[in-house]
């Protein structure tokens, strides 16, 4: 179903002002989160940066935005804005073709998501500190903003979003399951289109910020929904469509960086469920005390689970069935099956974390810096876990749906035509472990 | 087996997994007392097992800063000052697994200061694994749905 047939929606997407208005609100919120992290109270549960970034924003991102809107967050994310405005030398004015800065192309060896994988893992290893310490959150948020600005000055388009952003990497992975897509309407129109303004830009708009040619796009993974191509297409050939869930994961992954992204996210959700939500204090101590011997052991185990144990067991599982297809190819294709289950692992993990801590939002709203303010009369709202009676059933539902979804995906991406039972067994065992960790 | 009959069987199996009583040995309720040492950011012991109907007394001893203990599902709590102990007594009349967690902001990792209370067996875990098996069965039995 083509959503851009709705006149209101289409005009809202073509017009830059609605998006700019959201961008500005987000940018103000983002800068405030940085300031709150740096100058606000060091008590995380009373600081805007921790409560609004890691509880409110995270809840919206993983429970709503990614499952239902794919890269919808990227469409309004403020991180690339200052860099992009600098790069263009303008905020809204018509594009000027003369490059303002270096405008280099990102070297070919970096045109993949390995840097995103590494950046995500770097943050993941420090996540116990990052999630709980306001000034660390403030520094990381500021670093991401400055990294985006720096890369915009050196490279063309949104190099940070496309190749470095640790959040964008997993949003891209899971956006394949979302029921929203931006696609061309008629491929032939793109073939014959002169100048390809959707990619190269024109007098009415900029070329694709995400370095994607819409005419060749078959997956959501790298489309940031910036909507610039809707504005520049002279043939009205770009549409935003509503589609069935998981349409993209029917097409198997053919890249090792994307396959490992699936394992990184899959494994990180399981590790977090054990370390952060489990009853084992020793694990929490090890994860929190960065730089100690225990932390180095934690980091080594974390990386071993993600890069050796999970992919190794998966490889052993798929080796139990014979196929003419190369093992590496099968590994990449069948790893696509972990995408829906991984998303549901994160949903189940986040439900627990978010519902338990959501009541901090009210207090932080009234006293965002922890300075004793009471702006809305809710500064003294008591902490109280929410909806604990439905938490376990909701987590079970998410994981069981994820398991079924993954089984279905495995069947669809199984190009070799061999039995997918080993993948089902792998997913079932992983789901059972996740259930044990959460329930 | 027709499609509809298989679907009916699946629904019935789901209801059985969800609601069928699991075998339990009748155990006379006892009084159980636990001394829990609370320190940043863990409880010791962090896992408690009691039987349904037991009267549970928790003596919370805080060894560094103020800590609390809130039991999910039971909605009861207690707080202990540094070096002091506080007591919480309740009847474990709800079977299952429940997290208990610190309710007083006690430092950076406070939101993750968590323990686990299991009353009887953790039925919901076994039922959830049963649902997972049913999901796999459903996938094989309803390929038309799965491959659409």
pLDDT digits (tens, 9 = 90+) for A207-222: 999 999 999 999 999 9
**Cβ-defined contact of B138 to A357 (cutoff 8 Å):** no
Find, among A414, A268, A247, the residue nearest to A335 by Cα: A414
For B28-86, the pLDDT digits (tens) are: 999 999 999 999 999 999 999 999 999 999 999 999 999 999 999 999 999 999 999 99
- Work out the average pLDDT over A4-33: 94
Question: What pLDDT, on the 0 to 100 scale, is given for residue B146?
Answer: 45
Which of A132, A393, A435 has the CB atom closest to B111's CB atom?
A132
Find, among A111, A36, A47, the residue nearest to A379 by Cα: A47
Mutate to test the interface with B, among A243, A400, A424 (most CBs of B within 10 A): A400
**Cβ-defined contact of A284 to B41 (cutoff 8 Å):** yes
For A437, the closest chain B residue by CA position comes to B125
Q: What DSSP string runs through B79-102?
A: EE-TT-EEEEEEE--S-EEEEEE-
pLDDT at B145 over 60: no
- Work out the average pLDDT over A105-116: 95
**Cβ-defined contact of A396 to B105 (cutoff 8 Å):** no
Question: What pLDDT, on the 0 to 100 scale, is given for residue B147?
Answer: 46
pLDDT at A83 over 60: yes
**Cβ-defined contact of B42 to A285 (cutoff 8 Å):** yes
pLDDT at A352 over 90: yes
For A284-298, the pLDDT digits (tens) are: 999 999 999 999 999
Chain B hits for A129, CB-CB cut-off 8 Å, are 108
Question: What pLDDT, on the 0 to 100 scale, is given for residue A95?
Answer: 72
**Cβ-defined contact of B128 to A404 (cutoff 8 Å):** no
Question: What pLDDT, on the 0 to 100 scale, is given for residue A417?
Answer: 76
Higher pLDDT among residues B20 and A302, named by residue: A302
Cis previous bond, A331, omega within 30? no
Q: Is residue A140 part of a domain?
A: no
- Measure Cα distances from A14 to A82, A227, A232, A239 in Å: 21, 7, 9, 11
Q: Is residue A168 part of a domain?
A: no
| Total count of domains within chain A | 1
Average pLDDT, chain A: 94
Question: Does the B32-120 domain belong in CATH 2.60.40.420?
Answer: yes
Least confident of A44-48, A132-136, B1-5: B1-5
For A244, the closest chain B residue by CA position comes to B148
Which of A356, A393, A431 has the CB atom closest to B132's CB atom?
A431
pLDDT at B148 over 60: no
Higher pLDDT among residues B27 and A120, named by residue: A120
Q: Is residue A45 part of a domain?
A: no
- Work out the average pLDDT over A55-59: 95
* Cα gap B58→B50, rounded to integer Å: 12
Q: CB burial class (10 A; 0-12, 13-18, 19+) of residue A218? A: exposed
The distance of B109 to chain A (nearest Cα, Å) reads 6
Q: Domain coordinates of chain B in residue numbers?
A: 1-22+122-148, 32-120
Structural domain range at position A424: 253-438
Q: Is residue A386 part of a domain?
A: yes
Question: What pLDDT, on the 0 to 100 scale, is given for residue A250?
Answer: 86
pLDDT at A237 over 70: yes
Q: Is residue A315 part of a domain?
A: yes
Q: Is residue A384 part of a domain?
A: yes
Question: What pLDDT, on the 0 to 100 scale, is given for residue B27?
Answer: 86
Which of B72, B108, B124 has the CB atom closest to A133's CB atom?
B108
- Work out the average pLDDT over A114-135: 96
Whether A85 contacts A91, CB under 8 Å: yes
Question: What pLDDT, on the 0 to 100 scale, is given for residue B144?
Answer: 52
User: What is the ipTM score, two decimals?
Assistant: 0.91
Chain B contact residues (CB < 8 Å to A): 41-44, 46-47, 70, 72-73, 75, 96-97, 99, 101, 103, 105, 108-116, 122, 124-125, 127-129, 131-136, 138-139, 146-147
Please tell me whether residue A93 adopts helix, strand or coil conformation: coil
Q: Is residue A301 part of a domain?
A: yes
Question: What pLDDT, on the 0 to 100 scale, is given for residue A415?
Answer: 74
């Amino acid at each position: 179903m083509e959503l851009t047939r709705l006149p209101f929606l289409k005009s809202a997407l073509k017009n830059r002002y609605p998006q700019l208005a959201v961008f500005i609100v987000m940018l103000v919120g983002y800068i405030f989160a940085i300031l709150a992290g740096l100058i606000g109270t060091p008590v995380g549960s009373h600081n805007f940066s921790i409560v609004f970034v890691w509880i409110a924003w995270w809840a919206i991102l993983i429970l709503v935005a990614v499952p239902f809107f794919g890269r919808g967050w990227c469409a309004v994310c403020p991180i690339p804005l200052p860099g992009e405005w600098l790069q263009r030398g303008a905020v809204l004015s018509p594009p000027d073709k003369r490059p303002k800065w270096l405008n280099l192309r990102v070297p070919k060896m970096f045109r993949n998501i390995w840097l995103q994988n590494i950046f995500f893992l770097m943050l993941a290893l420090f996540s116990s500190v990052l999630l709980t310490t306001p000034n660390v959150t403030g520094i990381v948020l500021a670093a991401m903003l400055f990294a985006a600005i720096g890369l915009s000055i050196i490279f063309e388009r949104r190099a940070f979003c496309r190749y470095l952003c640790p959040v964008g990497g997993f949003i891209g992975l899971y956006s394949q399951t979302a029921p929203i897509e931006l696609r061309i309407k008629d491929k032939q129109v793109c073939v014959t289109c002169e100048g390809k303004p959707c990619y190269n830009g024109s007098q009415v708009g900029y070329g694709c910020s995400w370095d994607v040619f819409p005419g060749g796009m078959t997956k959501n993974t790298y489309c940031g929904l910036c909507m610039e191509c809707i504005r520049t297409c002279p043939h009205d050939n770009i549409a935003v469509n509503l589609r069935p869930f998981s349409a993209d994961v029917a097409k198997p992954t053919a890249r090792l960086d994307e396959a490992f992204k699936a394992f990184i996210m899959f494994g990180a959700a399981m590790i977090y469920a054990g370390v952060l939500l489990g009853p084992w204090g020793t694990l929490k101590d090890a994860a929190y005390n960065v730089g100690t011997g225990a932390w180095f052991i934690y980091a080594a185990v974390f990386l071993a689970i993600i890069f050796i144990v999970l992919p190794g067991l998966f490889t052993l599982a798929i080796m139990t069935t014979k196929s003419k297809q190369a093992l590496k190819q099968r590994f990449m294709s069948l790893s696509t099956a972990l995408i829906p289950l991984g998303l549901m692992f994160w949903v189940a993990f986040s439900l627990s974390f978010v519902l338990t801590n959501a009541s901090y939002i009210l207090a932080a709203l009234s006293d965002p810096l922890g300075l004793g303010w009471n702006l809305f009369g809710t500064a003294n709202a008591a902490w109280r876990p929410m909806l604990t009676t439905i938490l376990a059933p909701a987590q079970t539902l998410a994981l069981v749906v994820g398991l079924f979804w993954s089984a279905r995906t495995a069947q669809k991406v199984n190009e070799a035509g061999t039995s997918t039972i080993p993948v089902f067994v792998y997913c079932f065992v992983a789901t059972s472990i996740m259930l044990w960790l959460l329930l | 087996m027709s499609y509809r009959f298989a679907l009916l069987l699946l629904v019935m199996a789901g209801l059985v997994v969800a609601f069928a009583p699991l075998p339990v040995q009748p155990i006379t309720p006892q009084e159980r007392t636990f001394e829990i040492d609370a320190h940043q950011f863990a409880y010791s012991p962090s896992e408690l097992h009691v039987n349904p109907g037991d009267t549970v007394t928790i003596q919370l001893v805080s060894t560094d800063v103020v800590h609390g203990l809130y039991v999910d599902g039971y909605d009861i709590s207690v707080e202990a000052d540094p070096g002091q102990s506080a007591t919480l007594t309740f009847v474990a009349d709800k079977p299952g697994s429940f997290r208990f967690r610190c309710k007083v902001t006690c430092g950076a990792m406070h939101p993750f200061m968590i323990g686990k209370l299991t009353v009887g067996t953790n039925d919901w875990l076994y039922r959830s694994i049963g649902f997972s098996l049913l999901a796999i069965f459903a996938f094989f039995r309803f390929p038309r749905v799965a491959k659409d």
